[in-house]
Structures are given as structure tokens and as C-alpha cells.
Copies of this chain bind each other. A is one copy, B any other.
Amino acid sequence: MSITVVGSIAYDAVRTPFGERRRMLGGAATHFALAASFFDTVRPVGPVGGDFATEDLRTLSVRGTITDDVVTVPGGETFFWSGVYGDDLNSRETLATELGVFADFQPRLSPAARACEVLFLANIQPSLQASVLDQCDGPRFTALDSMNLWIETARAELIAVIERVDCVILNDAEIRQLTGRHTLPDAARELLELGPEAVIAKQGEYGAALFTRDGFFSLPAYPLVSVVDPTGAGDTFAGGLVGYVAAARERTVSRELLAGAMAYGTALASFNVQEFGTERLARLSFDEVHARVAELHRFTQFEMPLLKETV
């Protein structure tokens, strides 16, 4: 059993109030894989250029991740993203996006990647996401991410993919933008009507919310006194979430299962932002993750107040 993730493997240049990195391993599939690898065998699918360093391939291979579907394009350049974060780390400006080998990326999954039990379509062109779905042999659970660019330029294709997956994982602003609805519950309800069993809204420092046809669940972010680099937090969250679903091996994706999955995703994302890029996840232990999930549990549980009388 395994998890296939299709998405970018990249180099990032990032500046935050706490420092900078000129060229570090990044990309959606990378952050996802480093998180999901705690739970099951991960197969990232994506292209890199001839400039991709073997030590970065080693980092990507941590905890049993199989990189057979990471295709090197000789002479090509690895996808490069550069951005700078504002003082509050909630706003960021993209300085450069150089697609490199990602510009001509046409996913061709190996038989092992096609046979995945769980599939995550990271943020890539929606028609490519559809092509990946076509190639897979009916995964038990499928989830996707996307971004404002595709909502604006490929809305119909994106809607068509959403209709085919079990779970949509987007930022809350993207969910509103996609549906044009004022409130998140209204927007999520509209997405659920397209077919998915679950819509999960990523809310950054505020946490995440789960909408199902008959339920709602909300979890705060793990409270951190200092955040060093938010890059990849969303993909790390998705990696923990989807990895947990894979590990649980349940046929039915219940609200209870997804709540636990969100707790692991949240804990993993909190470690991710405490250092630059993949630095913290690369040397994280599962005991550390589990301890933070236990803290999140304590931070959110309360006795139902029994007060029933008024004065």
C-alpha cells in the first residue's frame, strides 16, 4: 500500500523577518512527502532538472519515500520560486517563478505509482490533475489542492477535477474565491454539492476547518511563539492528513477519521514552520509529532458546560 503525490519538487529562495535561504529544497510534493512518509510509503511524481542535487534527493527519500517517479530532465532547470514574507508572516510577495522543467511536465505514472491506495493531487494545472486521476487504478482516497491562478484561468477544468475527488483541501480565501460565496460554510456547502465527501479549509495561523455533508469540525493551529518560515505549511498539513488516512486503512472516511488526520497534519505543519524549508521535517521524530497532537487535544477539549438556569 502506498501514497502517490503529484506536484512540484522545487528550489525556493525565501526571506522572512528571521533570516533567508538563497536556494533550498522545496515544492508542494516535497513538503507533502516529508510529512506523509511518517505514515506510509510515499511516491512523489514530478520533474527535476539536471541541476537537482543528489543530497536533496536523499532528503526527499527520508522514511522510505520512493523517488522512482522523480524524473530528471537532463539539461533542464528545476522549478524555482522566490518570495519574501512581511513582518507578520501572513503576507508574502512572490519575487520570481521560473517553471523550468515544470513548464512541459506531463505526468506519466509508473505502475507502482498508479497502484497507490491513496492519491494527493498537489497544486498543478487542473487538466494534469485529471490526467493523473485517469492513470490511477481507483485509489481508495483522493484529495486535491489548487490555487488562485487556476481558479482564475482554468475554473471549468478545476471544477471537473473537484467532481472526481473525495476531499478538497484549499485555503479558505480560495474556497470563497472559487464559489463567490460570502461565508466559508456557504462556500464549502457549494463545493460539497459537486461531489466530494469532505472540504477542508486551511486557515493559516487560525487552523483548519472540515466540512462534510452532515458535519463540521474545527481545529486551531498549534500555538507557536515564533514562526521562522511558513513556506510549505499547507502541503505539510496535507501530507500529515492524507498520510494518516492512508495509515488508518479504513474504507469509510468518517468525520472522526478526518479529525484525527487534521490533528496530525496540524502538528506536522507546526514543526515545518519553525525552521526554513524542509530543515525541521527532515530530522523530526514521530514521538515529537505525537506529543504535539496530544497537546492539540488538550488545547481544544472542554467539558460541556452544564449551566442551564438563568437568574
Binding site for B on A (CB under 8 A): 17, 38-41, 63-64, 87-89, 176, 182-186, 189, 203, 205-207, 209, 216-220, 223-227, 244, 247-248, 256, 259-260, 263-264, 286, 290, 293-294, 297, 299-305, 307-308, 310-311
Note all chain B residues with C-beta closer than 8 A to A88: 176, 182
Residue in B87, B89, B183, B260 whose CB lies within 8 Å of A302: B260
Note all chain B residues with C-beta closer than 8 A to A294: 304
Listed from nearest, the 7 A-B pairs whose CB atoms lie closest are A260-B305, A218-B220, A259-B302, A206-B206, A185-B223, A186-B225, A297-B304
Which residue from chain B places its CB closest to the CB of A255 in the assembled complex? B302
- Quickly give the copy total for this chain: 2
Residue in B182, B227, B264 whose CB lies within 8 Å of A17: B182
19 more A-B residue pairs beyond the given contacts A207-B218, A217-B300, A248-B307, with a C-beta to C-beta distance below 8 A:
A38-B310, A63-B310, A64-B311, A89-B182, A182-B226, A185-B223, A189-B225, A209-B223, A217-B299, A219-B302, A220-B220, A259-B302, A260-B307, A263-B305, A286-B308, A286-B310, A290-B308, A294-B304, A300-B301
A223-B217 contact in complex given A302-B263, A304-B297, A310-B63, C-beta closer than 8 Å: no
| B226 contacts A305, C-beta separation under 8 Å | no
| Least CB distance, A169 to chain B, in whole angstroms | 18
Residue in B41, B186, B224 whose CB lies within 8 Å of A185: B224
| B256 contacts A302, C-beta separation under 8 Å | yes
A185 to B304, CA, bound (A): 26
| A304 contacts B293, C-beta separation under 8 Å | yes
| B39 contacts A218, C-beta separation under 8 Å | no
